[in-house]
Chains A and B, each alone.
Chain A
């Protein structure tokens, strides 16, 4: 049985890393991620966590360090935010291409310039095409649970996972979190299996230059070309949707909590109008749906938990029966629209019946988003679709 503690999402992430018995931690502090690194460093210092903590001069080196440690078979952890994540960009591709099972906490923060330390999701959305799995959490309990699930997912399919949660809104807010026992986590997450093949005796060349076509290596073994490696990554990340669902089911069996796999629904059974969102904003949307229901509007919420791989079938199942779908998101693909709305529209092309889709960009750089604003904006779209709007811009 777990124990309820009143903690922040940052503390929940640090505790989860400890419960997962990570062996190597490397991170560079950046607001609002900093407490994660501080708490893990303190655990290593006190001996509570038996791990190597590698201090580095940058986020690029932090991720390079854990890629290397993972490649020799260690269970690793890192965490970052905003410009720190952008500084990792090259190594993000490297990690996914190397097929190393890294788990990284991404504490969502707006990207400078102009400089902000406050929350939106532009930082992780901008990394969506790096080949990482991206999981978005709606509250601190989900952060802790998703961290534990992420290690299982990542190690089953050898693809790195970002666990994304909103800076300050979750990272610094104290709420009750059920912290599982070490025994329960050990039961769910087997100890790290070293698949590296590195034995310290046989010289190996990791990630050698790959040519475009398959060809035999120095030992005469036929090696895939670059495209075959990339195809395997795409095949496996698409297939991971099933793994993510299965892991969530296994998790529920042991811990009694399930987070919906790739997406979750709130009051959607008889809904005419779906509010779609990710992260803590999706939780905020459930309050807006309640307000709309009180006013006789049949609204529900679809919360997207897995953004990459994109759960397109799940979105079609959730949205093909509603009249209206309204997207609220804290990111934008400049020159087009919000990323979640774009991706869902593309998915809905495969569906015979489609709702009217409206989309809003909200809460950039920590702008407060209130349920009544979401309810009001939803109501507006119920009356007539708004294809791409920004909420609460005061110009």
Chain B
């Protein structure tokens, strides 16, 4: 993926999990990387903890003029692998696109159908190991950017770190950077090509 292109990214998470924060930090990182147009629009209905939420993000060399939902994303980022059973995340992803998943499972175990690249990292346990826990909740909003950055080259780890540095201070900053690094290092990237399975299914 190259920096002169535009990208549409959809983020799937649960209310309170950090999808909005993650999307905002990534768009900010993309701005640092030289994209003049970046946008992150959360799709709210009734905001409540635990409910599925999505964020629609665009990254473009030119200022963004459209505010419509992202229907056919280049990249889908999934903060909770349980959502794969609830929301048909793979259906609209562009052929040759990328799915980034926070999961302790393998791509094979997740039983993904389609033709795309999958980047999986156990962001939850990376955040836990980095001590990113507030009131018993493990926060994955920065660690999920690890596999996303590892599987793409248009933003870069340094710009994501810069966005995190802009948002956090002190101990909190250290933990967030550590969680990002761990999740980045522990990313496994595989190609999925089982369109026929979809047809049969």
Interface size of A in residues (CB-CB distance below 8 Å): 21
Judge if A156 is at the interface, Cβ distance under 8 Å.
no
Interface residues of A in 159-190 (CB under 8 A from B): 166, 168-170, 172-176
Are B44's CB and A173's CB within 8 A? Answer: no
Are A175's CB and B68's CB within 8 A? Answer: no
Residues of A with C-beta under 8 A to B67: 166, 169-170, 173, 280, 283-284
Judge if B94 is at the interface, Cβ distance under 8 Å.
no
Judge if B12 is at the interface, Cβ distance under 8 Å.
no
A284 touches which of B39, B44, B63, B68 (Cβ 8 Å): B68
Min CB–CB distance B112 → chain A (angstroms)? 26
> What 0/1 readout, one digit per residue, does chain A (31-68) give for beta carbons within 8 Å of chain B?
00000000000000000000000000000000000000
Residues of B with C-beta under 8 A to A368: 68-69
> What 0/1 readout, one digit per residue, does chain B (37-51) give for beta carbons within 8 Å of chain A?
111111011100000
Judge if A322 is at the interface, Cβ distance under 8 Å.
no
Are A6's CB and B41's CB within 8 A? Answer: no
Are B24's CB and A175's CB within 8 A? Answer: no
Interface residues of A in 95-118 (CB under 8 A from B): 117
Residues of B with C-beta under 8 A to A176: 31, 36-38, 63
B28 nearest in chain A by CB position: A6
Interface residues of A in 125-178 (CB under 8 A from B): 166, 168-170, 172-176
Interface residues of B in 2-28 (CB under 8 A from A): 23-24, 27-28
Min CB–CB distance A8 → chain B (angstroms)? 9
Residues of B with C-beta under 8 A to A175: 37-40, 64
Are B24's CB and A169's CB within 8 A? Answer: no
Are B41's CB and A169's CB within 8 A? Answer: yes
Are B65's CB and A4's CB within 8 A? Answer: no
Min CB–CB distance B28 → chain A (angstroms)? 5
Min CB–CB distance B153 → chain A (angstroms)? 21
Judge if B66 is at the interface, Cβ distance under 8 Å.
yes
A286-B65 contact in complex given A117-B44, A176-B38, C-beta closer than 8 Å: yes
Min CB–CB distance A39 → chain B (angstroms)? 15
Are A174's CB and B40's CB within 8 A? Answer: yes
Judge if A348 is at the interface, Cβ distance under 8 Å.
no
A172 touches which of B42, B63, B71 (Cβ 8 Å): B42
Interface residues of A in 272-289 (CB under 8 A from B): 280, 283-284, 286-287
A6 touches which of B31, B42, B45, B63 (Cβ 8 Å): B31
A369 nearest in chain B by CB position: B68
Are B44's CB and A6's CB within 8 A? Answer: no
In the complex the two chains form, what is the Cα distance from A172 to B69 in whole Å?
13
Are B27's CB and A174's CB within 8 A? Answer: yes
A287-B66 contact in complex given A6-B27, A6-B28, C-beta closer than 8 Å: yes
In the complex the two chains form, what is the Cα distance from A286 to B38 in whole Å?
17
Judge if A371 is at the interface, Cβ distance under 8 Å.
yes
Min CB–CB distance B107 → chain A (angstroms)? 31
Min CB–CB distance B120 → chain A (angstroms)? 27
Interface residues of B in 54-101 (CB under 8 A from A): 63-69, 71
Q: Select the residue from A6, A172, A286, A371 with max chain B CB neighbours within 10 A.
A: A6
In the complex the two chains form, what is the Cα distance from A6 to B40 in whole Å?
9
In the complex the two chains form, what is the Cα distance from A174 to B44 in whole Å?
14
A174 touches which of B24, B46, B65, B66 (Cβ 8 Å): B24
A4-B31 contact in complex given A283-B67, A284-B65, A371-B68, C-beta closer than 8 Å: yes
Min CB–CB distance A232 → chain B (angstroms)? 39
Residues of B with C-beta under 8 A to A215: none
Min CB–CB distance A277 → chain B (angstroms)? 12
> What 0/1 readout, one digit per residue, does chain A (361-377) give for beta carbons within 8 Å of chain B?
00000001111000000
Min CB–CB distance B65 → chain A (angstroms)? 5
Residues of B with C-beta under 8 A to A370: 68-69, 71
Are A283's CB and B38's CB within 8 A? Answer: no
A284-B38 contact in complex given A6-B27, A6-B28, C-beta closer than 8 Å: no
Are B66's CB and A283's CB within 8 A? Answer: yes
Are A287's CB and B65's CB within 8 A? Answer: yes
In the complex the two chains form, what is the Cα distance from A174 to B166 in whole Å?
15
Are B65's CB and A283's CB within 8 A? Answer: yes
Residues of B with C-beta under 8 A to A286: 65
Are B24's CB and A6's CB within 8 A? Answer: yes
Min CB–CB distance B161 → chain A (angstroms)? 16
Min CB–CB distance A71 → chain B (angstroms)? 37
A371 nearest in chain B by CB position: B66
Kindly list 18 other residue pairs between chains A and B, CB separation below 8 angstroms, not including A169-B41, A172-B42: A117-B46, A168-B44, A169-B67, A172-B44, A173-B39, A174-B24, A175-B40, A175-B64, A176-B31, A176-B38, A176-B63, A283-B65, A283-B66, A287-B66, A368-B68, A368-B69, A370-B69, A371-B68
The 6 closest A-B pairs by CB, nearest first: A173-B41, A174-B40, A6-B28, A370-B68, A169-B67, A368-B69
Q: List 11 A-B contacts (CB under 8 A).
A: A4-B31, A168-B42, A169-B41, A174-B23, A176-B36, A283-B67, A284-B66, A287-B65, A368-B68, A370-B71, A371-B68
